[in-house]
Structure 1
Amino acid sequence: MGQSKKLKNLQSIFKDKAKIIKATFSITNRTTSSIQIAVLRATTRSAQSPPHDHHVSTLLSLGNTTRHSASACISAILHRLHHHHQPNVYVTLKALLILHYMITRGSFSIKEQPLLQPMSNTGFESLNLSRFMDNTDMQSREFAVWAQWYASFLENNLSTSTILGCFLSSSKMEIEKKKEKLKFSLYMDLFKEIEALVLIIEEICKAPNSLNCQTNDIVYEVMRLVGEDYRMIQYHMMIRLTELSERLHNLRTNELTGLTRCLERLEGCKGRLTELFMNRKRNESFWELVSEVISELMRLKKYAEMKSVSRKMIEYASESTELKTSRYFGLLPYGENNYWLTLTR
C-alpha cells in the first residue's frame, strides 16, 4: 500500500513537471504562460505543506497588473482546482489557499473578477466541491472532508462580501466609507447583512473535528486564514450592531423576534469558536455587545407583548360595556319611512 502510494506520488511529480515544461514552451500569451507555471509550482503534489511565500508573491504580482492578467490568474487557479490528474487532496487544498490569498490580498481587479461573483441562487458554481473525494488512503479521505468544508467557507466568504457591498478583508478606509453609508440603510438591509455574517460564522463552526489533520501544515494555514476572516467578521458585525442598537425602539414585534433569533444563533456559536481558535480570537468586547443587544431586544419584546395584552384588555372591556348598554335599549322601525326609534325597556 505504502509502495503504491509512493509510485502514485512519483507519477504525479512527473506529470506536474511535464505541465510546467509544456507551459514554458507554449505559444500562448507570455503572461498567461507565466501565470500557469506559477500556479503549478504553488500547488505541487510532492509536498504536504502550504504554498511557499515566494510562489504566492509571484502570483499576486502577476495578477495585480491588469484586468486580463487578473482574469487569467483566477482562471488558472480554478482550472487547477477542478482538472488536475486524479483527485489529489493536497493540490485541491493548495489551490483553495491560493484563491484565499487572492481574495484577501489581491487587487481590486482580482476581487471583481466575474469568476468570483455569484453565478446562481445556489452559490458559486466554480467552488462547488461537495462531491470531491480522494480515495488514495484513509488520511487522504479525511483531508478531502477539509477541502469540501474549506471550499464551502470560501463560497460563503464571497457571497457575504456581495451582500455587505465590500470584501471581508477590505481596507480600513473602505470599511469606514461603508460605515458612513450604514447610517442611511433601512432596517431590512442591516438585518440581511447581519444574517449573512451569522451564516458565515455558522459555516466556520462546521470545520471538521479530525485532530490528526489539524497538525498538518496545510490545515494549520487554512485555519490561520479563516481565523483572520473571523476577526474581520466580528468587526463588520460590531459596526452593524452598534448602528442597529440605536434603532431598536423603532422596531416592530416581528422584527424584534427575528433579530433576537438571529443573534441567539450567533451566541450559540461561541463555544465552538473558542475551541477552533483556542481563545486567540474570542474578542470579549464583541460577545459583550451581542449579549447586551439580545438583552435589550428581549426587554423591548416583553414590553411590546405587555402593551399588546393591555390594548386587547381595553378593547375587550370596551366591547363588554357596549354589549351591556345595548341590553337597556331597543331599536324599532317607526313611521312610513322606517326611521329607527330608540325605546327604553
Structure 2
Amino acid sequence: MSGSQSSLRRYLGAIKDTTTVSLAKVNSGYKELDIAIVKATNHVERPSKERYIRAIFMAISATRPRADVAYCIHALARRLSKTHNWAVALKTLIVIHRALREVDQTFHEEVINYSRSRSHMLNMSHFKDDSSPNAWVYSTWVRFYALFLEERLECFRVLKYDVEIDPPRTKELDTPDLLEQLPALQELLFRVLDCQPEGAAVQNHIIQLALSMVVTESTKIYQALTDGIDNLVDKFFEMQRNDALKALDMYRRAVKQAERLSEFYEVCKSVYVGRGDSFVKIEQPPTSFLQAMEEYVKEAPLAAGAKKEQVLPECFFLAAPKEILAIEYEKPPEVIEEKPVSPEPPVKAEAEAEKPVEKQPDLLSMDDPAPGVSELDEKNALALAIVPVTGKATLNIA
C-alpha cells in the first residue's frame, strides 16, 4: 500500500511540475527563468540537472538588472513557501546555497534585503512532509539545513565577508570586533552541528549532496574560529572585566564545539560525505587554561565609569559566597555578656536640661562637646559587630 502511495505522489508531483512549466511559457515575463527554477526544484527525488541551475545563476549575476535578480529571489521564496514536498524544498535550498557560494556577493545582499522587506524567505520552522515516515525524517533535516543557511547570511551581515569565499580575518581583529564576530561564527558552527543526519536521512543522496557543502564550509568556519580564539587568548589578560566575562564564555563554547565537531566529522566519514582531504584535525582548546582565565576575571579591572555592583551579578558564579560572608541574626551569648554600659548617661541628660533656652544654638556644633558620641559609637559597634564564627565572618544585628 505504501509503495502505491509513493508512486501516486511521484505521479502527482510530475503533473504539478508540467503544469507549472506550461503556465510559465504562456504567462510569465521571465519565461526561461521560471522554467529553469521549476525544473531545478522539481518533485523528482534525485539531484537536479546542472544546466537548469546554471540558467538560474545567469539570471542573478552582477551583470543582470537588479529587477531580474529580485524576481528570481522572489520566485525561489515563493517555491519554498508553497511546497509541502521535502524534495522540492531541499532542492530549492540547495540552489540558494550554491548561489551564495558560486555567484558574486551582491546576491547575499539582495537576499538579506528581501528578507528584511518581507518575511524571512528561509524560515522553514513549520515545514513538514508527513506523506511517509521517511519524508518526515527528511523534513526534519530540511528545517535544520534552512536554519544553517539563515545563520550563514546573518554571519555574512556581521562579518561583512563570506567565510567560505574569503580568507578569515579574525586573527588580526581588535578586541571590540573580536567580541562581536566570534559569537556570530560560533552560532554558525552550532547550525553546522545541527545538520548531522539521523535515521533514513543518512543514506539519502540529495541530503548527502547538501551535507557535503556544509562539511566543506565547516572547515573554513573552524579555521576562522581557531584564529579568533588564539587572538582572544592573546588579548584576554589585558581586558576589562565585562569584556573578559564575554571572552571566557566564548572560550568555554569553543571547548564544547571542538568535541561535537569531531563527532560530526566521524559521522560524515562513515557515510562517505566529503572528500578525505576536506576534514581538518580538531585540536581541543586546553581546559586547564580555563582556571587561569577564571582567576583573572575575579580581579580584572572595571571599565571606566562602571559600578562594581553592576558587574558582581555577572561574575557571581566565579565566587563562593557562602565561604566569604555569612549573615546570622542570632546574638552570640559572649557578645551580650561583654556589652559595656555607658558610664555617664545621667550627666548627659542633666547637661542638656541645664542648657539656657535663650542661648542661640551653635548650628555647626563647634562649641558642643557632644558627650553622647562615645555612647553612640559603642552601641553601633555592637549592633554591627562582625565576629568570626567557624571560619566565616558573622554579621550580628542587635
- TM-score category of the 2 structures, normalised to the smaller one: 0.7 to 0.9
Among residues 26, 47, 51, which one is paired with 1:50 in the alignment? 47
Q: Note closer, same or farther for the CA distance 1:154–1:211 as it changes in structure 2 (3 Å cut).
A: same
Aligned letter for 1:34?
Answer: E
Counting aligned pairs with the same residue, the percent is 20
Contact 2:138 2:201 in 1 (8 A): yes
Residue in structure 1 matched with residue 60 of structure 2 by the alignment: 63
1:4 aligns with 2:1: no
Unmatched segments (≥5 aa) in structure 1: 309-335
Counterpart CA distance in 1 for 2:368 and 2:89 is 88
Q: Shift of the alpha carbon at 1:150? A: 0.8
1:96 aligns with 2:93: yes
Residue in structure 1 matched with residue 216 of structure 2 by the alignment: 228
Q: Note closer, same or farther for the CA distance 1:238–1:124 as it changes in structure 2 (3 Å cut).
A: farther
Taking only aligned residues, the RMSD between alpha carbons, in angstroms, comes to: 3.5
Moved more, 18-27 or 218-227: 18-27
Counterpart CA distance in 2 for 1:82 and 1:22 is 19
Q: Shift of the alpha carbon at 1:236? A: 2.4
Aligned letter for 1:229?
Answer: E
Q: Note closer, same or farther for the CA distance 1:242–1:266 as it changes in structure 2 (3 Å cut).
A: closer
Aligned letter for 1:109?
Answer: T
Moved more, 71-80 or 253-262: 253-262
Among residues 27, 30, 33, which one is paired with 2:31 in the alignment? 33
Contact 1:70 1:109 in 2 (8 A): no
Q: Shift of the alpha carbon at 1:305? A: 3.6
Q: Shift of the alpha carbon at 1:94? A: 0.4
* SS of corresponding position for 1:169: coil
Among residues 138, 146, 151, which one is paired with 1:143 in the alignment? 138
Q: Note closer, same or farther for the CA distance 1:108–1:205 as it changes in structure 2 (3 Å cut).
A: closer
Unmatched segments (≥5 aa) in structure 2: 270-275, 302-364, 371-398
Among residues 287, 309, 313, which one is paired with 2:283 in the alignment? 287
Q: Note closer, same or farther for the CA distance 1:118–1:61 as it changes in structure 2 (3 Å cut).
A: closer
Q: Note closer, same or farther for the CA distance 1:115–1:192 as it changes in structure 2 (3 Å cut).
A: closer
Deviations 1:247-281 (A, max 9, x none): 22211234323222222223212333223223665
Counterpart CA distance in 2 for 1:44 and 1:36 is 12
Residue in structure 2 matched with residue 302 of structure 1 by the alignment: 295
Q: Which has the higher helix share?
A: 1
Q: Shift of the alpha carbon at 1:157? A: 0.8
Counterpart CA distance in 2 for 1:202 and 1:124 is 24
Q: Note closer, same or farther for the CA distance 1:12–1:255 as it changes in structure 2 (3 Å cut).
A: same
Aligned letter for 2:107?
Answer: I
TM-score by length of 2: 0.67
Counterpart CA distance in 1 for 2:206 and 2:294 is 47
1:338 aligns with 2:394: no
Q: Note closer, same or farther for the CA distance 1:220–1:307 as it changes in structure 2 (3 Å cut).
A: closer
Counterpart CA distance in 1 for 2:183 and 2:150 is 16
Counterpart CA distance in 2 for 1:204 and 1:247 is 28
Among residues 114, 124, 127, which one is paired with 1:129 in the alignment? 124
1:162 aligns with 2:150: no
Counterpart CA distance in 1 for 2:32 and 2:244 is 54
Counterpart CA distance in 2 for 1:307 and 1:102 is 46
Counterpart CA distance in 2 for 1:153 and 1:88 is 20
TM-score by length of 1: 0.76
Counterpart CA distance in 2 for 1:158 and 1:117 is 12
Contact 1:23 1:37 in 2 (8 A): yes
Moved more, 57-66 or 144-153: 57-66
Equivalent residues, number: 304
Contact 1:9 1:45 in 2 (8 A): yes
